[in-house]
Structure 1
Amino acid sequence: MSKLAKPSRLLHKLSHQLFATPQEQTKFIAALTQPQTFPPTIIWAHQPDNNQVELTDLETLPPVSWQPEFVTRLAAKSQPGKHPLHEAGYFYCLDFSSVFTASALLAINQPIDLAIDMCAAPGGKSVFAWRSLQPNCLISNEIIGKRIGILISNLKRCQIQPTHVTSSDSEKFAHLIPATADVVFVDAPCSGQSLLAKGMQAPGCFHPVTINKNANRQKRILANSAQVVAPQGYLAYMTCAYSIAENEQVCDWFLQRFPQFQPLSVSHLAAYQSHLTSMPCYRLFPQEKLGAGGFVALFRNTATGEKGEIPPAFWQQVKFSL
């Protein structure tokens, strides 16, 4: 794994923004400059029957208190992507931080008719939402064309259906299907700071220009997505960044712009409440050794009125259906 030769001035600055004590600042910096291997995690899209091969050759770890029953953590050196059940589509591999952020969806009341994953590739959040929410219809959207292939491949392999894959800007969703979705979740493009905790590169991820550029993009996507949420529907916002400007401050901006939305407490994540705000929102940091890190907030549209219907013209946006 790659390592930062020494903590940058901007990383030090961020650590001071996030943590009040030198001890916590040091732990956070160490987690990024001395990256570790986090235990791999799998989402069971389909549980194998008793008479089929199981994960007998992979060591599992005890679940944490809030871990969904359809998620399994494995020992750090496991290679679930090479297991026959992976190729057969029984499970999807991802970082446990993604499970953490997606688990806010477990606080949503069912049943769900329409759920939309606004930034879907490579597909982990769509698989999680399909398994946890059991929507009658799931739309997985990915605006970056070169990422559509892997999204479709993963959804096909895991047999996530009924699902429709689109590649449209969030603004088009707001224009074509306003107030239609019971749930919209936005795993927003971000500065990618948590990549460092996994030993990967994220050039410029702490630079103010990079952070501000991403924060502005996140606000635009979130504002468009809000218009797609039906009255009494839900909107989840997630990132894998640490910066306050991409997380709490985006949520503050959103609530000022869309006062009909109210932040919801997610009881099973109460221990991870962000210490940087009193608003219900949740953070996982890499020094906690569960995953590279993530942020999530869940909102409810308190507006009243009729739920919209999807017009036939929208389905022209669909690239692939399962």
Structure 2
Amino acid sequence: MKLPETYKQNMKSLLNEEYDEFIESFEQDRYYGLRVNTTKISVEDFLKISPFHLEPIPWTSNGFYYQESERPAKHPYYYAGLYYLQEPSAMMPAQTLEIEEGDIVLDACAAPGGKSTELLNKLNGTGLLFSNDISSSRAQGLLHNIEKWGCGNVIVASEDISTLAKHYPETFDKVLIDAPCSGEGMFRKDPSLIQSWEERGNEYYVKLQKEIVKSALSLLKPGGKMVYSTCTFSCSENEDIIAYMKEICPEIQLIHIESPYFSRGVNGYEQCVRLYPHKIKGEGHFVAYIQKGDKPISHSSIIHPNEIPNEDAKEFFKNIQKSFDNGTFQLKKDKLYFIPDINLKGIRILRSGLFLGECKKNRFEPSQALAMNLKKEEFKNVIDLDISDPNVIKYLKGETIQVSNTKLKGWVLVCVNGYSLGFGKIQNGTIKNKYAQGWRWQ
């Protein structure tokens, strides 16, 4: 791999005697990781059913290395949302941010969703995640990944963080910023980033990063905690940004990140960590953990929902044995949502809470998002297919399938080994496929 001379000189100054080992790491293969969705399945239970050869990623509680040849993206468990595919070092920022149940959390630069899905794991169905990305096209992928994860306590937005700061001053208990950066830490994984680095350099991103952290600090409650991370090595985009944060918000304190796996931050910021590809099985990252003062955080009380505002939907929900809290049922142009209690006026929203389905003439059509949100035991009528059953792939391809159960009639939740895939309508053992078209097996 041909690396820019300026980049190599910068890294030599940063790493000194470790430089040669760092350069040699570019000749090694990259590493692949998956992270278990603990809102659907425990790590212990996933390891019992996993068909892959997995090795724990040591700085995570639910992340594992896998072999590229195993292709976990082409497995029904992936479609069931049991895991997310993520570069191993990129798991560190969300792992670092300590989340308490009931927290209001902002993922400020969230696409494609790897960090948001882990934050949802930590919230465990409580509180609220505000998952935002300024790019509307990238936010579409973010929405898909979050809906597959199966959580409803989330707002997906595509907004400039400065606009969020105007609407939500000192609102969030926790904030995660995986900032746009020059991507030096991902050169091995994606060599095309080298050209972008040569064209833009580091300073292009420094200006963006300063704007983002300034807004993020105003969004964070007093006493709240924030993780700032990048996938680059440049001090100007890392430690210098932390210095800038301390200038504009003197009350912030750095929290020491304990880790035997990583190098420490430089220029007096040893509380931070640096992930280098010659030191770990992964790519490059920088992570800083910050607290804004020390005022204790209090959580709001639970909000109990109103009645479902549609008779057909209300009838359908008799099939569901699940409680909905901390939000309200709202009907918007025939679409039914369960929306968390937060003012969204003036914000570009892709999804507010959980999309439940559409109220059509004399019937209710449940959504794919609702199917992913439900557990097998929470729906009255279930068809649970074994992973070896050819009907699993047929269903994921959108085909009509035949099953032996001829007694069930109407809506069914189709599962694989107990984990939901989507809905279907059954009559005389024939399931008319309702699996979302944009989700189908390719």
Partner of 2:14: 18
Task: Choose from 241, 264, 273 the match for 1:274.
Answer: 264
Q: Does 1:57 align with 2:48?
A: no
Task: Choose from 157, 170, 184 the match for 1:193.
Answer: 184
CA offset digits 1:295-316 (Å, max 9, x no partner): 1101111065998998735475
Task: Choose from 6, 9, 21 the match for 1:27.
Answer: 21
Note the residue ranges of structure 2 that are not aligned, 5 or more in a row.
301-340, 355-442
Alpha carbons 2:184, 2:232 under 8 Å: kept: yes
**Residues 251 and 233 of structure 1, relative CA distance in 2, 3 Å threshold:** same
Larger Rg: 2
Secondary structure, in 3 states, of the residue corresponding to 2:188? helix
Task: Choose from 343, 350, 356 the match for 1:319.
Answer: 350
**CA deviation after TM superposition for structure 1 residue 270, in Å:** 5.4
Note the residue ranges of structure 1 that are not aligned, 5 or more in a row.
none
Partner of 1:104: 96
Mapped partners of 2:45, 2:221: distance in 1: 43
Q: How many residues align?
A: 310
Secondary structure, in 3 states, of the residue corresponding to 1:14? helix
Mapped partners of 1:48, 1:164: distance in 2: 25
Q: Does 1:125 align with 2:118?
A: no
- Of the structure 1 ranges 96-105 and 109-118, higher mean CA displacement relative to structure 2 is found in 109-118
**CA deviation after TM superposition for structure 1 residue 217, in Å:** 0.5
Partner of 1:152: 143
The one-letter code sitting in structure 1 at the alignment partner of 2:72 is P
Alpha carbons 2:261, 2:279 under 8 Å: kept: no
**Residues 62 and 50 of structure 1, relative CA distance in 2, 3 Å threshold:** closer
Mapped partners of 2:219, 2:291: distance in 1: 13
- Which structure has the highest strand share of the two? 2
TM-score (norm 1): 0.87
**CA deviation after TM superposition for structure 1 residue 215, in Å:** 1.2
Secondary structure, in 3 states, of the residue corresponding to 1:286? coil
Mapped partners of 1:271, 1:254: distance in 2: 26
Task: Choose from 280, 288, 301 the match for 1:297.
Answer: 288
Q: Does 1:83 align with 2:62?
A: no
**CA deviation after TM superposition for structure 1 residue 55, in Å:** 4.5
Mapped partners of 2:243, 2:45: distance in 1: 51
**CA deviation after TM superposition for structure 1 residue 72, in Å:** 2.6
Mapped partners of 1:258, 1:49: distance in 2: 39
Secondary structure, in 3 states, of the residue corresponding to 2:202? helix
Partner of 1:139: 130
Secondary structure, in 3 states, of the residue corresponding to 2:67? coil
- Which structure has the highest helix share of the two? 1
Mapped partners of 1:270, 1:56: distance in 2: 28
Partner of 2:106: 116
TM-score (norm 2): 0.64
Secondary structure, in 3 states, of the residue corresponding to 1:73? strand
CA offset digits 1:88-136 (Å, max 9, x no partner): 111111010111232211xx26244200100111000001111124451
Mapped partners of 2:342, 2:49: distance in 1: 45
CA offset digits 1:259-315 (Å, max 9, x no partner): 111111122x25524252332111111112421111110111106599899873547
CA offset digits 1:59-108 (Å, max 9, x no partner): 011442x321x323323533221121101111111010111232211xx2
**Residues 308 and 174 of structure 1, relative CA distance in 2, 3 Å threshold:** farther
Partner of 2:65: 73
**CA deviation after TM superposition for structure 1 residue 43, in Å:** 3.2
Q: Counterparts of 1:206-225 in structure 2 under 5 Å?
A: 206-207=197-198, 209-225=200-216
Q: Superposition RMSD on alpha carbons, in Å?
A: 2.8
Alpha carbons 2:93, 2:227 under 8 Å: kept: no
